Chains A and B, each alone.
Chain A
């Protein structure tokens, strides 16, 4: 079902339609939040807030077909508010030293995965917010440059440039670890 139909149904209080929107767009929202905050747990919390806020303001979504782009703006605002709140508490969320991953439970469950995760977070922290957004949306969520450009308000050229620079910096930061991903479809 298209986003426009789901948005229309969610406006009338259809929980299933809202759930479908969450399932469809959570990863992109998470990528944007992670790009802004650097911490996966904070990014998840911000995403949850952003979806609830999006529902509350759903009547302001003038182009339901472009729900994804509209949602990303809300996610960014929520992340910005969260970061401001954290600053008040004298915390620096993007400081690599403070990025300790999701907590000991996850690390114990999969130590290697936890280590890679910590390395990725540290390497991501060295990128600019725009580079993080582009590389996460492209490589994690699978958005194409055209979609990134449309939904984030960038040019496609800028998106490609950010991706190129981000990947190069990440590879350097990860020190030659194998973090390349197998994929099925060309961009």
Chain B
């Protein structure tokens, strides 16, 4: 051991008393507990996302491929949708004659309209 010009500050040093220092560290830990817990929670969320993002991406890709395939098969049958729409209109109570006039873009005469409504009632 040597002695130089260093000043002995041990009387001012709170870490010199292990028990006291432990108390200080514990106190800081207690004050930091809420922030540490919040950080753990955030870390867990991001951790879960990072753990699941690859399977989720694969699932999304498979869903996309299936959807594209289905749409490609449905496209040629598109005209059938029109007849399904007529069926739907009738199902919700629109008179058949009215639905046909709407589809044909031809305005009915007043007499035809009256007759049609009388038939329905």
Contacts and interface: CB of A to CB of B under 8 A. Distances in A.
Interface in A1-55: 10-15, 18-19, 22-23, 26-27, 30, 34, 40, 44, 47-48, 51-52, 55
B9 A183 contact: no
A13 B5 CA distance: 42
A154 interface: no
A12 B40 contact: yes
Interface residues of B, number: 33
A92 B51 CA distance: 56
Interface string A164-187: 000100110000000111111000
B1 interface: yes
A181 B8 contact: yes
Interface string A128-165: 00000001101110000000000000000000000000
B75 to A, nearest CB: 50
B103 interface: no
Given A30-B14, A51-B28, A51-B32, A183 B2 contact: yes
Contacts of A135: 7
A12 B10 CA distance: 35
A179 B25 contact: no
B24 interface: yes
A11 B39 contact: yes
Given A12-B39, A26-B25, A51-B32, A181 B7 contact: yes
A183 B31 CA distance: 35
Nearest to B9: A140
Contacts of B38: 13
Contacts of B31: 48, 52
Interface of B: 1-15, 21, 24-25, 27-29, 31-33, 35-43
Interface of A: 10-15, 18-19, 22-23, 26-27, 30, 34, 40, 44, 47-48, 51-52, 55-56, 113-114, 116-117, 120-121, 135-136, 138-140, 167, 170-171, 179-184
Given A55-B36, A183-B3, 17 more contacts: A10-B39, A12-B40, A12-B43, A30-B14, A40-B12, A48-B24, A52-B32, A117-B12, A135-B7, A136-B9, A140-B10, A167-B5, A167-B6, A167-B7, A171-B7, A181-B7, A183-B2
